[in-house]
Amino acid sequence: MHPFTPRPTVRRLAKSSLVLMALGGLSLGCTDDPKVEPPPPNPQTLCSGTFSDGTSIDVANPQPLGDVPLPEQSFCDFHTFAWNQFLYLTQTVQDPNDPVFPTKPRFLSYAPWYNMLQPNGAAAPGAFPGGATTLQVGKLDNKQAGGGQDELIDVSGNTVLYDIRFNAPMYDFIVGQNYFTQADYYAFCQPTDPGQPFTACGNTEQLWLPWGSGTPTSMGSMGSVEVKTAWRQFPANDCPASQMYCAGSGLGLIALHIAQKTPTHGEWVWASFEHLGNTPDCAAGSSTPIAPQSPLGTPWALFDPAKVPASVMETKTCGVTAANPQCNLDPHVGTSGFQQVNVCRTDALPAGGASAANCAVVGSSTQDPNANSGGNVSCLNATLRPKLAGVWQNYQLIGTLWTKGTQPPDQDFWISLFQSAKPGLPEKTAVGFPNLANSALETYLQIGSTAYDPNAPGLSNANKAGCFGCHNPAAQDSDTDLSHFPSKFNDFQSPRVPAEP
């Protein structure tokens, strides 16, 4: 074949063009190229409750999502997804498994850890949720994550308590696969040193928790969901029910973590919410500055203005480093006691609420790798909170975390900065809020808080604070597939909170 055979065709086209030009551009009504339609405009012009696929949050009747809507999955989509799931999980439901408080938010109808997990030798728990779902003080946890095994004491001198719950897909998998006792889980994991926490499993086969059936065209069923919550104690049974959700009169919800595994995010999507009255921000110029009272006009739960230097209130800045230790300090007293320390949030949201700058939807870039995530969360909070009824308008999203791109739910990977390299496996990058930490759930693991740094030097707050510091894909005796559910087995031998009389 001669390499120049197309040339005569080119000359004929050129002649035809000249004829058309001579006829004054007369169209002959035929063309070789189909009309190219311009791409539709992106419906997500602002990060205020609409996804990039054109769907929006239904505040009055939120529906559960099995995944962050495809195909784009913009950064704003993840924060919008977080708010949608919060609204769904806090919807009021009637729970037939709670004889004490049957009218409750949906997440409290999920299986508490002590229903799903059982002591060695126990029979398998029953169908989800495995028994009564009533919040039981005697089975809550008083220890935070991290090497310090710290407690958090509120301004009234009471210890903050923690609960963790699992949805039906995760519960059914753990129980159905016989991983509900430590002996059964260890038989699968084969830990190399069972006496030490975070010991690697000898079994190289990975345990993959359910991820649901969300698809690009149908959001399908939800995959595994863990909900961890923080509760203030009100010993006088005077929980302020007009300001926060109260479980009875003695416990008030101050923080809520949502972790959901999805078909396109095997690293899970992490979202964290806090009560507006918890803590101010550590630095001036942010959304919740240091002030004598919280934005609700109430005393702060975890910050006492009377116990900080006057300069803190004047400058609206509370130091968290060894050079200027004023907030987020070591709470330990002696060998086993704890004291109240003033808490502030280091990874603060920008001021301005639903300003144009905060609501702008931008792409990830070298200059802004997290694509205006802080501003977008501020915009969503300012837009959605006023639409809520009752106490739920007093809670705000403080951040969302995932890894850039997609990650298959049944394949191993590693997250740069937070974990050691795994040759031959995908390297992922934490984005959104890479150092996400809740001031009531991970008080002492906040980015930049180096005056007290319980996980240093390996996971120092200087640069490695955040969920992925502790939650990683490595299969261990106390965690697997980024879930720490196996760590709760130890509570059967050493309860974190004494049982109620």
- Note the pLDDT tens digit of each residue in 96-119: 999 999 999 999 999 999 999 999
Token pair 């994550």 is found at 145
> Treating both helix axes as pointing N-terminal to C-terminal, what angle do 75-89 and 373-384 enclose, rounded to 10 degrees?
40
Q: What is the mean pLDDT of residues 191-199?
A: 82
What's the pLDDT tens digit per position in 410-453? 999 999 999 888 899 999 999 999 999 999 999 999 999 999 99
CA quadruple 148, 415, 490, 156: dihedral, nearest 10? 40
Residues 87 and 107: their CA atoms lie apart, in Å, by 10
| pTM for the model | 0.90
Residue type, 465: A
What is the pLDDT, as a whole number, of residue 40?
Answer: 61
Between 193 and 446, where is the model more confident?
446
Give the residue from 89, 81, 76 showing the smallest Cα distance to 378. 76
Q: Rounded CA gap, 435 and 467, in Å? A: 7
**pLDDT at residue number 146:** 73
Q: What is residue 27's predicted lDDT score, i.e. its pLDDT?
A: 42
Q: Two tokens at 11?
A: 């000359």
Angstrom distances, CA of residue 260 to CA of 61, 115, 300: 20, 20, 30
The whole-number average pLDDT for the span 335-358 is: 96
User: Quick one: average pLDDT of 270-289?
Assistant: 98
φ/ψ (deg, to 5) at 61: -145, 65
Q: Measure the CA–CA gap between 227 and 259, rounded to whole angstroms.
A: 7
User: Does pLDDT of 501 surpass 70?
Assistant: no
Tens-digit pLDDT profile for residues 226-236? 999 999 999 99
Tell me the pLDDT tens digit for each residue of 451-474.
Answer: 999 998 988 999 998 898 888 777
Most confident of 12-26, 192-206, 211-225, 234-248: 234-248
The rounded distance, in Å, linking the Cα atoms of 250 and 319 is 33
Tell me which of 36 and 188 has the higher pLDDT: 188
- Mention every residue, 6+ apart, whose C-beta is less than 8 A from residue 264: 67, 68, 70, 73, 214, 406, 407, 409
Residues 6 or more apart whose Cβ sits within 8 Å of residue 100: 134, 248
Percent of the residues in the chain that have a pLDDT greater than 90, as a whole number: 75
What's the pLDDT score for residue 398?
Answer: 98
What percent of the chain is predicted at pLDDT more than 70? Answer: 89
Average pLDDT, the chain: 89
Mean pLDDT value of segment 349-366 = 96
Q: Is the peptide bond before 457 cis (omega within 30 degrees of 0)?
A: yes
Task: Give dist(CA 221, CA 310) in Å, integer.
Answer: 53
User: What does the alpha-carbon distance between residue 83 and residue 63 come to, in Å, rounded to a whole number?
Assistant: 11
Position 36 scores a pLDDT of: 65
Q: What are phi and psi of 47, to 5 degrees?
A: -90, 80
* Separation between Cα atoms, residue 305 and residue 326, nearest integer Å: 12
Lowest pLDDT segment from 13-17, 189-193, 416-420, 496-500: 13-17
pLDDT, average across residues 341-369 = 96
Is the per-residue pLDDT at 3 higher than 80? no
Picking from 305, 154, 295, the residue whose alpha carbon sits closest to that of residue 234 is: 154
Longest CA–CA span in the chain (Å) reads 100
What pLDDT sits at residue 149? Answer: 85
Residue 485, pLDDT above cutoff 90: yes
Cβ neighbours around 259 below 10 Å, total: 20
Mean pLDDT of 334-361: 96
Beta-sheet pairing, 111-112 with 225-233: unpaired
pLDDT tens profile 306-324: 999 999 999 999 999 999 9
Closest to 160 (Cα-Cα) out of 228, 92, 99, 72? 228
Tokens 């059967």 identify what position? 492
Q: Are 500 and 136 in contact (CB under 8 A)?
A: yes
| Window from 142-156, 376-390, 426-440 with minimum mean pLDDT | 142-156
Question: Which one has a higher pLDDT value, 265 or 144?
Answer: 265
The runs of H, that is alpha helices, within 387-482 are 467-470
**Tokens encoding 327:** 């907030």
Question: Burial letters for 454-482: b for 16+ Cβ neighbours within 10 Å, e otherwise?
Answer: bbeeebbbeebbbbbbbbbbbbbbbbbbb
The span from the CA of 231 to the CA of 239, in Å, is 11
Task: Output the pLDDT for position 33.
Answer: 57
Q: What does the pLDDT read at residue 472?
A: 76
Report in angstroms the alpha-carbon separations of 230 from 140, 154, 184, 189.
10, 12, 29, 30
> The tokens 């795994």 sit on which residue?
422
Q: What whole-number distance in Å separates Cα of residue 77 and Cα of residue 70?
A: 9
> For 48-67, how does the pLDDT look when each residue is reduced to its tens digit (9 = 90+)?
999 999 999 999 999 999 99
Rg of the chain over Cα atoms, rounded to whole angstroms, equals 26
How much is the average pLDDT of 33-46? 71
